[in-house]
Every structure is written in C-alpha cells, then in structure tokens.
Structure 1
C-alpha cells in the first residue's frame, strides 16, 4: 500500500534539519565543552602550587618546633647550672644557640621571659635571615624547678614562596595547554562528524523528497485506477439495469399483450373456464416478474414505499410474517437505491427457498455518512464454514463492494441468518429517490 504523500510531507516538515534553526550540534558541543575545558585547565594550574604551599608550610611548622626545642634544650642545660644568672651570661647563651646559625630557613629567634619580656632578640643572638612571615615554634626553657623562659622560633617562608611561584607558572602553562587541548581536539572532531552528518541528512532529505514525489505519483495512479474501477463497476450495474428494463419492456409489451389477447379470445362462449383461470395466473405471475426486474414504482414513487410494497407482496405470497423498519431520511443516489433493492430481493428469495423461516425483519437506516441495511430471519440458517457460498451471496457482496461498501453475513445452523450491509454516502441527493 503506498504511503500518503501528504503525511510524508507533514512528517518531512515536522523534522527539519538540525542545522536549519537554532545553534548547530557542533556549536552546542563547543559551548558545553568550553567551561569543562576551562575548569580542567584551572584545576591543573591551581592544584600543584596549592598542594606544594600546604606541604611546605606544614614542613616549616615542624622545623620551627624542632629548632625551638633544640635551642630550649641547650639553654635549659645552662639554666640548670646558673638558675638566676644564666640570662645575664650572654656568652653561654650564644654558645648554646650557635649551632643554629647555619640554618637557612630560620627567619628569627627570640628568648623571652614567662611574662613576655624579651631577654635576647634575634639580632643579639645572631640568628635568622630576617623573615618573620613563616610558622612560629615555641619551646620552654626549664630551670631546676620550673620554666624560666621561652624560645620563640619564626621560620622564613620566602624561599618556599619563590618555589611555589615557579611551580604555579609551570602548572599555569600546563593548565592552559591542557584546557586548550581538551577544548580544541574534541570540538574539531565533533565539527568534522557534524559536517558528515549534515551531508548525510542532506542526502536523506533529497532521497525523501524523491520518495514523496514517487509516492505521490503512485498514489495518483492508484486513485485513477480506483476511480476507473468504480466507474466501470457503475457502468456494469447500469448496463445490467438497462438490460433488465429492456427485458421487462419486452415481456410486458410482447408476451403480456399476447396473453391479454388470449384472454379475450377465451372469454367467448364455451367451456374455457380452466384455460381462462390459467391465463389469468400466467398474466399475474408475469406482472410480478416484471415488477421484480424493474419496479415501475421507482420511477414515480419514493424508494422507501417501493421497498415497503415489495416486502408486503413477499409476505402475501409466502405467508411469512415480515416487518420493515426505516430510520432517518433516505437521501442517496439511484445506484444506491437499486443496489439495496436487489440485495433485499435476493435475500428474500433465499429466505423463501431455503430458510423455512416464520419471521423476517428488514431494517434500513440512513445517516449523514452511510446507509445501513439489515435483513434477518429465524430460519434454519446454514454453515458459514462450507466450502463455497452461493451465487446469490456473492452477488450481494459484489453489489455493495462496487459502491465502496461492505456486506457481512452471520449464520449458524438452526439459529437463523443475519445480513448487514453498509454503503458510504459520498454526497447527499434530493428526496426524489
């Protein structure tokens, strides 16, 4: 079954190329990747000097404490020998602290009393490089009985700051290079893939356009063929009806006139009663056949009345109780009316011959978009699984199919038969039908 070109066109319009509107895939990826690459470069630039600074500060704190303890230990020995005079013996104090003069990271060293008064400054001790912004370490100078003073050591952090700056410059360069690489390389790859994808989408759109065009042509051909088939089917039905009119006219004008003349001849004196009655029966049957072939009432009466008259004649002829029900306003074409009449005729003929029914129901419902016919009986029914269906059933289905409708048959042995047909109404007509 060909696709609907309108649907394909709608689908094509509903999924435009990703490059047609808004930022492209490559631009979106670049916008997403830029902060990520910048963050990665920033981490690489900041983390090494930061880690080095923390580790260097902790190391200076430990060294400050160790140096203060070493000097305090040496001065404690002096204080034990001279509990009161050691702080005035500068020579002994300088000897005790002389071993720390070669320490490069030592910024300053002081000896203070417990009340905070300074006894010896860093200059007096000849210690330190002068840097006082580093970690501080304290250690007590213990006399024979208690703590007599404190040693304060301040480390010089300037060498570590210089090293941290050098590490920071190197890590900054590495971070910039890494961030640029993380941004440029993936973005370039995505842009290349995006261009290939765009070319592929362009080819797909061109192929889709060709497919839509081909499908539209095919759909037009199918519609033309369908219209031709419908027109041919209507012509076949019209030809059949015209042929039936000719047969009815010939029977009526030819055989009917001959039998009428025979009746007039038999009405002359003599014993011809049996022949007269027989001729009357022949004439009555002939007229019934003529009405069935092409009811003249269709030319002068509404279709519903024609159908009602036919069902009444069927009830009179067969003795089967027949009901006829109409719903809605009958507004459909002559072709539809003839189709319904022929199906009803065929259905009632089958009922009279095979169903052995005591009741028959006929329902005709006309709505805005379709007309529905139902014929049902309470007869013996039949098996739908039989190898083949009769010519009459096929004929009824074909008549509905010619008009674009459907006809279904539901039957079971000993459960009666129900025929339901639906014909779509393309456009309403006047009440002349």
Structure 2
C-alpha cells in the first residue's frame, strides 16, 4: 500500500510504502534512524539490524542526505515525537543517491542559503513556513467564497499606475509603454461595479530600492473591493478576515507553528474589534513616547508603527491619514478635507503594515480634480473615470500583503523566507 507521511495515521499497525527523501540520519552498529520527508511532512523511520536483511541495514546505514528512496515498513504510534508516528522499516529501495548535498545540518550564512534557495526549501523550517503560507491562501479563498465575493483576475501588464508613483517596472508593449502592475485595485473597482463584492489574488511588483526585512520586489496581494460598502463596513470585513486566517492557521498548522517556535498565545490574543487610533492621535502618542523626528503630515516608518502596535499588543487600525500622503482615489473625510477615509492595519510584534485600505471617491468631478492635481494623464484614466460617471456608488476596498502576513503569523523575521523564490533588490537568482 503506497501512502504519504501526512496519511500514515490511517495505517497504524499496517505495512505501507512511502516515497521520500532522507533529510538526516544517525546510526549505530545495531540501529539506524532515518529522518524522512516526502513533501507532506517529516517522519522517522527506524531500521533495526536484527529485524531486517543485512543488505537492507547496510543500505540504510550508507544513505546520504537528500537521497531519494522508497521505504517500506509498519506504522507505529510514537508519543515521543511531535508528529506522533514512526515507521519500523523493513525495506529500503534507493531511487537516486545524492552526492555532496550542499546544505548540511551545520549553520550556513544567509547569502549561501539564498543562493541555494531551490534546495533550502526542503528544510524543516522552510517547509513549515510554506505550509503556513498555503493555509493562509486556503483560508483566504474560504473566507471570501463564504462571504459572497467573486474572484476576479486583474491584468499584470497595465498602461498606468494606481498609486501615481514612479516605482514601476517599465516594459514595451509592442509600440507603447506598459508597466508591471503594482496593484490591481482600479480594475477591481470596475469589477465591483459589475459584481458587487470581488477579490483578486495575484503578483504585484514594486521597483522600490529598499533592503528592509519587510520589502520584496515581487510579492502577492489579496485585494477585495466592495460596492455599497462605506469606510466602517470595510474595516469590519478586514477584522473578520484577519481573525479567520489566524484561527485557521492555529487549527490546521499547529505542528508547523511548534516547529518554528511560534508563541501562539500572541496570535490567540487577536480578536475583534481591533483597536483604532486616528493619525492625529498616533502623532500625539509618538511625541509623548519621545519620537521627535515625526511631524503631522509625515508618513510613519517602521519604528513608529512598531511603537504604536506594541502599545496595544494587538493588530490595530490607524485611520484618517493626511490627504497629501495618500493616493488620489481616497474619499475625503466628511468633516475635514485634509484627511481621507483610510486605514492601515498594523500587526503587532514589529511586523508593520499588513493591510492598506480606504473608501474610494465616487464623485466624478472630485475624482477628475484629484487626477489632475496628481498630474496624471486623463487619457490613461478615462476608463477609470467612467466608473464614477455611470451609476457610481459608495465603495471601499483594501489590499493585504501576503508575505508580510505570513511572516507575522509564522513568527519569521524576514519576508524573504515567506515566498518560495524571493525577488530582492540585488537578487534575481535562482
């Protein structure tokens, strides 16, 4: 019977065969302990010399790291192992013997590991991070599907910038200019006017020359847009979404969180409603904490966000940022025109902003005015202006950065470990 490591609990007391790789090994004259992995998980295989043919024991004893094998044996419960099961091996068939595998159990430098990212992914730690990432993706689709959202795929090649910045990757689109998308938001607004509640999930690109632990050049975004949803409605969806994915990871990735040494008590604290502070209140708080380097009208940096979030020990919303530091499409606050109806969700423990969102302008004249104020080409935005011209309604949306969210929930320090093949300022390999 062929099976996988993740399924062995169904076969206790039975003999099965698993295709696996040898992650590590230790042996003595009488017993060999094989640390096996098959992509679905990790499990120990025990080969006892007195219970198998001599050739089987010698094969097991001579196996090299990352050799591929078929192992056959009986599944037993093992309460000493976090996994809970092990295999009493009776047969080992070598598929390919790996020679001089470069990533050994010793310590390696980050650059070496990044150069060997295609192999580093096989490690227990990276396996755990990718499983948590996968669970967040699964729970994302679950949440939006259960709440009546329609999945829409915006284009990756665009002719304009939703943020109005120069941090774009330029390319030629036959005889005209095009850019790699930095956000699908404008297209998602068009979809929301057709389908009500929509979400996208895809790659985005930012040509920021940043080397911080929070930044990637290519990353994945979840971007919902909701017709007839005002600012407060959107905040409620964001709270519910974040708590849903956290609960899903706590429930379905307990082994992976344990492997990463994650303090799950900190995740268990995350519950709705999230605290909210206005930008004005945040500036005042920072001044009281001795941050004299920031004034009203400045955007927050990582130290500022961390100080604010740590004060609450919870994910929080910072709302009502100054109009001048936010994109052109954000709806002004009803009682003052110097701030907009927007919010950044800041994760605790120093992980920074994971969501940015706002109510969108739905007045045609105001939208046209803002586009002109930001010196954006009206021709390129004509289609977007049509949305506020033909049956416009109040609508809101937000964008969540997947890799930052994975880093926070898994407790990993740097986002380079939260995407399979990171693209960094000085890294396009492998």
TM-score class, shorter: under 0.3
Larger Cα-atom Rg: 1
Q: TM-score, normalised by structure 2?
A: 0.19
Q: Which has the larger helix fraction?
A: 1
Instruction: Flag the structure with higher strand content.
Output: 2
